[in-house]
Amino acid sequence: MSTPDLFGIATPEPLAQRVQHLRDVLHHHAHRYYVMDEPQIPDAAYDQLFRELQALEELHPQLITPDSPTQRVGGKALEQFDSVQHAVPMLSIRTETDTQASGAQNFDARIRKELGLSETDPPVEYVAELKFDGLALNLRYENGVLVQAATRGDGEVGEDVTQNIRTIGQIPLRLLQNVPAVLEVRGEVYMRRDDFEQLNEHQRSQGDKSFVNPRNAAAGAVRQLDPAIAAKRPLSFFVYGLGEVSPAMTGLTTQFEWLQWLKSCGLPVCEHVAVARGAEALTAFHQRMGQLRDQLPYDIDGVVYKVNALALQQQLGFVTREPRWAVAHKYPAQEMLTTVQAIEVQVGRTGKLTPVAKLAPVFVGGVTVTNATLHNEDEARRKDVRVGDTVIVRRAGDVIPEVVSVMLDKRVSDALQFTMPVSCPVCGSTAVREEGEADYRCTGGLFCSAQRKQAILHFAQRRAVEVDGLGDKLVDQLVDSGVVRTLPDLYRLGLTALASLDRMAEKSAQNIVDALEKSKTTTLPRFLFGLGIRHVGEATAKALARHFGNLDGIMQASEAQLLQVADVGPIVAQSIRLFFDQDHNREVVEQLRACGLNWPEGEPVPMASLPLVGKTFVLTGTFPTLSREDAKAMLEAAGAKVAGSVSKKTDYVVAGEEAGSKLAKAKELGVPVLDEAQMKAMLHDGT
């Protein structure tokens, strides 16, 4: 007998072969999914194969092998970790303290001197890599199977964290090709910023302690004694070097070749690696990556330069515990010390009260920061931040800066503990914290001027109806003077009323009037998003508009009908219903329409009939006729997704004048590149 597999090909029995076959197929697809980010089969199909293997192994436990994909989580909680003596010591790396261009020059000059090169000799070839901010791991593969994962420890002796590391999907349990009998690879285990934010969001919502930064969260997960808990912490991995390799591999003579080979074994290698000749090329890499730093999905604290040729590395050797052939060239720190000058409570659009620390200005993560969020009451209390305290502030990527922790030994004795106010600091209404919620909310609703101001700013922002020039200073004035109470009041503002405001010249008043007029012609998704319905972001507003076609349809829809919309779940549906059930909200909508706000309405369009459904586009550069926003709106109206960065999942890049790194990335990945005209043509027929 034989069993048909996923591809309809008969697999020979006996059972052991079927089990082996399932493992091979699962290893292959796990690599496509976790490492290449390019799945070939739907998750459900993977799960089906996985469950088949699980069932067979349960019936025949003698067939279980340690590299089976089913064996990622398994072991029981440990008392402590075993020690591991590293076969080859895990070194540390010298840091160039100079953060400027001379960092690379100093390194290159040292290398040239050590190698006895003169000025007339050709440039030295280096590899430039990112310096990931996580923790170092040694992975030991024997006959291609992962047998041990160890932390660096003191460089000689580390800890055996194999159980936890096996739970990381990106780390292959078995390598994809023939490798030396012993192959140790080294790399960095880290947590992506989005995974970290999500984990902390979850911790906070559970009333649990949040993690200080992705590195600490990753370190905590790796050193977690219970592998079941470690498995729930989302970790990632990049390989960047080698430990013991025996028998030695011949044929690979450079660091760069090794990295490519390790990649072909199924190990995750970072895409940002470059071969660079001479100091200038290294500096260019440092600058390029410095610009990219905020957009990367993970933290880096610098770049690493390594002499590319292994023979030269050997010749250069080590000083104490650091190789002479490598150096780290740092970026400005993402965490810095500063002092808290005040703690204020800010009121958001939905009434959420957020404690914010006002800081002595500090340069962190490349910008000057003066505010840092304390998130909510529990978090503020747990961190026990007080006015006058010296604190660590963190800013990474475009994440809002936050206070990480307090330097308790620097606390002044009379520093007052922070308490959450029981009433709204702006309107005096009672502040309540609902059961099971982490946040206090002002109950003042639109009575609260802070909420009104935020609601107006939300409506007027670029991504909503866009009233150019209506910023927070002007909104403060309009609301505080009582001229504007509701959104429709904005459209009743005359030139005289505006011009009579403090510091408002006639010309600027006219500009605002014009901008208000212009904003009246909008689109349904922008208008809907602008209303500020809780849980209705841009994507949901678009989905609603597409599904219902017109506003009345949405306003009248039952929760059940709302649930039919892609991406709308029970909480969102309830929130939309709640919003339109309130007379004053419907009144605002009617008045806005009466003021002349308008948008094209139509019939509902079923998603599947749109020409570009399932296609992902990335826009870059300046287009001859369309603005970026317009191009995005047109693509989305045709069912496409518009993403911010180019990856293997991108179907098309639309490039205009002065397209930069995204275009380069598209070429590198072989993603088709269109111009504006070609894009417009696709909008109609989808090809």
Instruction: Using CB under 6 A, pick the residue from 6, 41, 73, 93 that binds ligand IVH.
Output: 93
Stretch that binds ligand IVH, among 86-94, 330-338, 582-590, 665-673 (CB under 6 A): 86-94
Stretch that binds ligand IVH, among 90-98, 116-124, 496-504, 657-665 (CB under 6 A): 90-98
Residue closer to ligand IVH (CB basis): 241 or 525: 241
Q: What is the C-alpha to C-alpha distance for residues 414 and 417, in angstroms, rounded to an integer? A: 9
Stretch that binds ligand IVH, among 31-39, 85-93, 474-482, 496-504 (CB under 6 A): 85-93
| Helical residues (DSSP H) of 461-537, grouped into ranges | 472-480, 487-491, 495-499, 506-519, 524-530
Stretch that binds ligand IVH, among 131-139, 172-180, 428-436, 447-455 (CB under 6 A): 131-139
| Nearest-approach distance from CB 124 to ligand IVH, in angstroms | 17
Q: How many residues bind ligand IVH (CB under 6 A)?
A: 14
Considering the rule CB under 6 A, would residue 530 count as an interface residue with ligand IVH? no
Q: What is the C-alpha to C-alpha distance for residues 454 and 558, in angstroms, rounded to an integer? A: 28
Considering the rule CB under 6 A, would residue 131 count as an interface residue with ligand IVH? yes
Q: Which of 395, 372, 195 is nearest to 293 (CA)?
A: 395
Q: How many CB atoms lie within 10 A of CB 43?
A: 10
Considering the rule CB under 6 A, would residue 323 count as an interface residue with ligand IVH? yes
| Nearest-approach distance from CB 304 to ligand IVH, in angstroms | 4
Considering the rule CB under 6 A, would residue 11 count as an interface residue with ligand IVH? no
| Nearest-approach distance from CB 241 to ligand IVH, in angstroms | 5
| Nearest-approach distance from CB 85 to ligand IVH, in angstroms | 18
Sign of CA dihedral 126, 127, 133, 137: negative
- Name the one residue in this structure whose structure tokens are 């200005």: 361
Site string for ligand IVH, 185-214 (x = CB under 6 A): ---x--------------------------
| Nearest-approach distance from CB 659 to ligand IVH, in angstroms | 29
Secondary structure of 369-415 in the HEC alphabet? EEEEECCCHHHHHHHCCCCCCEEEEECCCCCCCEEEEECHHHCCCCC
Residue closer to ligand IVH (CB basis): 135 or 284: 135
Stretch that binds ligand IVH, among 88-96, 113-121, 417-425, 563-571 (CB under 6 A): 88-96
Site string for ligand IVH, 110-129 (x = CB under 6 A): -------------------x
> What is the DSSP secondary-structure string of 600-636?
-------GGGSTTTT-EEEEESB-SS--HHHHHHHHH
Considering the rule CB under 6 A, would residue 333 count as an interface residue with ligand IVH? no
Active centre residues (catalytic): 131
Considering the rule CB under 6 A, would residue 96 count as an interface residue with ligand IVH? no
| Nearest-approach distance from CB 234 to ligand IVH, in angstroms | 19
Residue closer to ligand IVH (CB basis): 57 or 129: 129
Angle between helices 676-685 and 628-637 in degrees, nearest 10: 20
- At 244, list the tokens: 């013991």
Residue closer to ligand IVH (CB basis): 219 or 663: 219
Considering the rule CB under 6 A, would residue 304 count as an interface residue with ligand IVH? yes
What b/e readout covers 93-113, taking b as 16+ CB neighbours within 10 angstroms? bbbbeeeebebbbbbbeebbe
Considering the rule CB under 6 A, would residue 136 count as an interface residue with ligand IVH? yes
Whether residue 316 contacts residue 307, with contact meaning beta carbons closer than 8 Å, is answered with: yes
Element (H, E) at 245: strand 236-246
The one-letter amino acid at 505: A
Would you put residue 550 in left (φ > 0), alpha (ψ -120 to 50) or beta? beta
Which residue ranges make up the site for ligand IVH (CB under 6 A)?
91-93, 129-132, 136, 188, 240-241, 304, 323, 326
